Amino acid sequence: MAANPNWPRWIFASFTTMFQQALQAALPSIGFFVEGQDRQTNTQTDFVEVRMNGPDFSQCSPSQWDVQVQFNVLVQSIRDEKDFHKIHRTIGAVLACFPTNLTIYRYGDGTGDDQGVEGCLITKSGSKNDGLIVSQFGQVQPDVPVMQASVEGHYHGYLDN
């Protein structure tokens, strides 16, 4: 039996919905975008953008699939000469918004999208390339006062078809 074709969409929708709610509670003034969305950054100078790598599937049994997925959150902040820690506070808030357990809901308005629980993924841990990873890019262009970083979360779990 093939992997459920809705899983990638449900996983992405579940993460972005949960993450946006948590981030808006922590930093109500920061902009939030998902990859592919038209970013109107002329009015929103400090923002985050969520991306997903995967999910990758390996079949464990006729009806069970091992799932691996990574979420990457780009953090952008205008350099502030009075507050050199501004981007670091944003990174800290972003880190706190990553769940340890990510419940996968059947979000959408199509067949099978009943908003019910499909399963759960957990944060991977154990090696340098697992868990939550912060990458600091600093000021990417010397003539543009924009600081960037990313926070990446690695998740793993099993889903039943």
Structure confidence at residue 128 (pLDDT): 62
Beta bridge partners of 73: 50, 151
Q: Which long-range contacts (CB under 8 A, 24 or more apart) does 118-122 make?
A: 118/7, 118/10, 118/159, 119/157, 119/158, 119/159, 119/160, 120/157, 121/11, 121/67, 121/69, 121/155, 121/156, 121/157, 122/155, 122/156, 122/157
Q: The pTM is what?
A: 0.90
pLDDT at 65: 96
Q: How far does CA 126 lie from the centroid of its chain?
A: 20
The full set of domain ranges for the chain reads 7-160
pLDDT for position 110: 84
Longest dimension (CA), the chain: 59
What is the pLDDT tens value at each position of the chain, 161 positions in all? Answer: 788 999 999 999 999 999 999 999 999 999 999 987 777 766 778 999 999 999 999 999 999 999 999 999 999 998 877 888 889 999 999 999 999 999 999 999 888 899 999 999 999 876 666 689 999 998 878 787 889 999 999 999 999 98
Residue with tokens 């780009």: 74
CATH architecture of 7-160: 2-Layer Sandwich (3.30)
